[in-house]
A and B are shown apart, each in its own frame.
Chain A
């Protein structure tokens, strides 16, 4: 099974908590009120991408570390 890495860009996260709402086992809020990844293995790659898509700030990045492929966000959404 491929290894998935999920990161939250804190220069973009505004603390909407949507990711925590959709995948509470993967994401949690830190003491600054921003999202942080607690357990990436708690969800499938598809669930992770679908949840990353819900972020209004495109702050969540999902990568396949074996292939180096960025599963989210697509390049046109990166500033």
Chain B
């Protein structure tokens, strides 16, 4: 692995396949490291990552603002459809406008609020597994992991009948812009088309909800808009964010978790014999190989992180996966241990931008793995298969996970 770090490239096939070894080497040599190719600082130590994530006064999340500074007016015009929507995404905003939206939406995503959806999710999980269980094999990403979060987010926004295939296609197009395929030359055009199509699909739904309010998320956003708390752009941007963000990361968590269990069969056995460990198990899957590897911040002013001076405007790649394997925070960090406690991982980030959907993702993953460990055993990678991850600095996303298994009941 020496050569990997010497190359200092976040996108080599070796690093995409095994980011943990790369982050470990960086952490052992330089916890706050300037990456010349990415033109920014890479943080791989737990303390350094948490210090930055918990300090929005010095570190901005205003991705679209900083991106605008880097682009020419012509380039800005080319990606206007993306800017128009993404600049209203909560994840890319700083206080105070972030705070207003977060406090409003948070009510729908608290651990208590999310519990209401558990019976519904349990049914979706059962039904999804029913479709493949008799075959003794499945492709985990497509046959299992995808359907669960997509069905749930559409229920939450009050539109269970939306066309899932279209939404998947458009979401993938938007993802091209900044998550997946950072090496795709036409990524901006592809993303513009995706976001325009999704916006055209969602706007009539918002208009319909304005006339016929319900108890769904869109209705809540509209009532906040009508009360003057947020704007129409906030409503639209947030709808796009929730549909886009609401399924892909959880899908990847379930797939990564399944793969982690397959490499640690004794932990699968332990959970299947002790179902009460499910909450701790999901926390450990999040820590061990979560679906979001990194998140980005920009220094608002000159500021020290550990022994390094970060200059105003410079960007920082906060490695959540790196922090989650820091031995100073987690004993035996490379071991999957579903009884680990405490386990204050940063898989959902930390600070004011901690994932809004964290409780939902946790509950969905709990239901998925509770069901799998109860109903199947000995999951194994299909003999002729080899695994591939999407080339992304941000996402830890398996392209597919074909497995065989034995049916229990």
Contact = CB atoms under 8 A, between A and B. Distances in A.
Interface stretch (A9-17, A36-44, A62-70): A9-17
Range for the number of chain A residues in contact with chain B: 20 to 34
B351 A54 contact: no
Contacts of B346: 14
Given A16-B351, A54-B110, A77-B115, A11 B342 contact: yes
A33 to B, nearest CB: 3
6 contacts: A11-B342, A14-B346, A55-B110, A55-B111, A57-B354, A79-B283
A49 B53 CA distance: 27
Contacts of A17: 351-352
A56 B110 contact: yes
Contacts of B188: none
From B280, B346, B351, residue with most partner A Cβ within 10 Å: B351
Nearest to A77: B111
A8 interface: no
Contact of B111 (A14, A22, A32, A58): A58
A31 to B, nearest CB: 10
Interface of A: 11-12, 14-18, 21-22, 32-34, 53-58, 73-74, 76-77, 79
B50 A33 contact: yes
Nearest to A58: B111
A70 to B, nearest CB: 14
A56 B106 contact: yes
Interface string B105-133: 01101111001000000000000000000
* Residue among A12, A33, A34, A74 having the largest count of chain B Cβ atoms under 10 Å: A33
B87 interface: no
B181 interface: no
A21 B359 CA distance: 19
A19 to B, nearest CB: 11
Contacts of B103: 18, 21-22
Given A14-B350, A14-B354, A79-B279, A74 B359 contact: no
Contacts of A54: 106-107, 110
Contact of B344 (A12, A73, A76): A12
Contact of B110 (A14, A21, A32, A53): A53
Nearest to B53: A15
A76 B106 contact: no
Contact of A76 (B53, B115, B280, B350): B115
B343 to A, nearest CB: 8
Contacts of A21: 99, 102-103
Interface in B336-380: 341-342, 344, 346, 348-352, 354-356, 358-359
B54 interface: yes
A18 B110 CA distance: 11
Given A21-B99, A79-B280, A16 B352 contact: yes
B229 to A, nearest CB: 14
